[in-house]
Amino acid sequence: MPRGWYGGGPGGWWQRQFRGGGYRITMPRQIILQVLDESKRHLSAEDIYLKVYQIYPTIGLTTVYRTLELLVRMGLVFKFDFGDGRARYELTRGDGNLSHHHHLICTNCGRIIDYDDFIEEELELIKKTRQELEKKYGFEIRNHTLQFYGLCKKCKAIKE
């Protein structure tokens, strides 16, 4: 049995999600999901393309984009923007709105650090804020991001 969220065989829950939506389970789609599952976070479309290409060389970039769009629409994947002009993607892993997508981004070299320190309080506050914003603005909130921008250790040292 495969490891990770992606596994579970042909009757797994995401396969059911696909069928329920009238979407076909194709080789490109399976491999894209596999790659997302096996990789670290925040991959660009091209990152994904190159990894899928190793397994399935007839893949096209277009299919990667179209599949990612579908997965985002289905709520299986989050799309991020770090301000460098290319989108990043990662599996939601079924954790809905409680996941933390919190990043430190170096505005000089583009390095991205995921942090999950000091998260407890944050989640608590965000949960509360979320509820209040939903009530006040009638928004249905599905996701959130908290990002800090600045200079990473290395770039800071160079600038000095």
Partner DNA sequence: ATATCTGCAAAGACTTTGCATGAGA
Partner DNA sequence: TCTCATGCAAAGTCTTTGCAGATAT
Residue 101 interaction partner, one of DNA, its own copies, none, beta carbon < 5-8 Å per kind? none
Q: Is 100 in the site for its own copies (CB under 8 A)?
A: no
Q: Which amino acid is at 32?
A: I
CB–CB of 76/68 below 8 Å? no
Tokens of residue 106, six digits = 């170096």
Q: How many CA atoms lie within 13 A of 54 on its CB side?
A: 8
How many angstroms separate the CA atoms of 117 and 123, rounded? 11
Residue 115 interaction partner, one of DNA, its own copies, none, beta carbon < 5-8 Å per kind? its own copies
List 4, 16, 55, 69, residue binding DNA (CB under 7 A): 69
List 27, 55, 109, 146, residue binding its own copies (CB under 8 A): 146
Considering only residues 88-147, where is the footprint of DNA by CB under 7 A? Answer: none
Torsion of CA 98, 99, 102, 103, to 10 degrees: -170
DSSP structure string for 62-93: HHHHHHHHHHHHHTSEEEEE-SSSSEEEEE-T
Considering only residues 75-94, where is the footprint of its own copies by CB under 8 A? Answer: 79-83, 87
What minimum distance in Å lies between the beta carbon of 15 and DNA? 8
Residue span binding DNA (CB under 7 A) among the ranges 81-89, 90-98, 113-121, 128-136: 81-89
What minimum distance in Å lies between the beta carbon of 135 and DNA? 32
Q: Is 143 in the site for its own copies (CB under 8 A)?
A: yes
